[in-house]
Amino acid sequence: MIELKKLSVSLKNEKILHNINLIIPEKKTTVIAGKSGSGKSVLIKTIEGIITPVQGTVIIDGIDIFKLNNKKLYQLRQKMSLLFQSSALFDSMNIYQNIAFPLVEHSNYTNKEIDFLIEQKLRLVDLSETQNKMPSDLSGGMKKRAALARAIINNPKYIFYDEPTTGLDPKVSNEIIDLIISIKKELNHTVVVITHDLNCLRKTADYIVFLEKGKVMFTGDYHSFINCKDPACKQFLE
Ligand SMILES: Nc1ncnc2c1ncn2[C@@H]1O[C@H](COP(=O)(O)OP(=O)(O)OP(=O)(O)O)[C@@H](O)[C@H]1O
Ligand SMILES: [Mg+2]
């Protein structure tokens, strides 16, 4: 479980996150929503231990991550995976090499086991037969799916998707949303989706956290969110 306690973050002397108390439930999909600049990405970077808070902390599986040394933090991060907004595939590597990258870096798998895992994950994202292609040979949606396969190759306990549908046309965007849902079913992991896409929110969220100017303005399910009386929530939903 991920727990944020009285978390405040300042960057360049500006307070970005204000006293955030939050529990991200296990094995559910939590959507962190809010308009541009509300602090969604900073929140995720703090959960990953990339940004250090000025006050409060992040507890993951009972461990205060800011009390860990670098080696222990690195080990804890192996449980987490982040799908960046840009797919961030390595242009000079083919799809097989891109997806194998986290495995080659961090594990003791044999080549045969790596082959098996890559085939399995590529099937899951509906990209079989693309192993030898280069990223430049793939469409935007296919690149996103390949990046998704790479993000789940280590069977992470926690997966974060930062704006998974931004920049995609509605059809491809819906395909990625369906994939996020089917991968969740398959791996039964804890998912955090950051988005300002209402369609993505509606389809994926078990639980919603709404941020406005670095503060949590709402937590709850979709039904309560659409009935939320807070002006910032209402404006977001318009
Ligand atoms: N490295 C940084 N140094 C200083 N300020 C930063 C830094 N990163 C983010 N900020 C500021 O923190 C605030 C929150 O930024 P953040 O990237 O978390 O927003 P966001 O909700 O993810 O927005 P978007 O939807 O556009 O991705 C913004 O005002 C931004 O300018
Ligand atoms: Mg962001």
Domain ranges, residue 108: 85-155
User: Hey, which bits of 34-86 come out as E strands?
Assistant: 55-60, 63-64, 80-83
Domain count, the chain: 2
Residue of 21, 76, 23, 89 whose CA lies nearest to 50? 76
pLDDT of 87 strictly over 70: no
CA–CA gap between residue 158 and residue 113 (Å, rounded): 23
7 and 104 fall within a common domain: no
Closest-approaching ligand to the CA atom of 16: 1
Q: What is the pLDDT of residues 162-180, one digit of tens each?
A: 999 988 889 989 999 999 9
Provide the CATH number for the domain around residue 178: 3.40.50.300
- Among 14, 16, 86, 163, which is best to mutate for testing ligand 1, by the most ligand atoms less than 8 A from CB? 16
Ligand 1 pocket at CB < 6 A: 11-12, 16, 34, 36-42, 196
Average pLDDT over residues 183-189: 92
pLDDT of 104 strictly over 90: no
105 and 133 fall within a common domain: yes
Q: What is the pLDDT of residues 18-61, one digit of tens each?
A: 999 999 999 999 999 999 999 999 999 999 999 999 999 999 99
CA–CA gap between residue 23 and residue 174 (Å, rounded): 28
98 and 203 fall within a common domain: no
Closest-approaching ligand to the CA atom of 162: 2
CB count within 10 Å of CB 207 equals 18
Per-chain mean pLDDT for the chain:
93
Q: What is the pLDDT of residues 111-147, one digit of tens each?
A: 899 999 999 999 999 998 899 999 999 988 899 899 9
Q: Poorest-confidence range of 101-110, 114-123, 175-184, 194-203?
A: 101-110
**Which atom of ligand 1 is closest in space to residue 39's alpha carbon?**
18
What integer pLDDT is reported at residue 106 of this predicted model? 66
Read off the pLDDT band of 220 (50, 70, 90): very high
193 and 205 fall within a common domain: yes
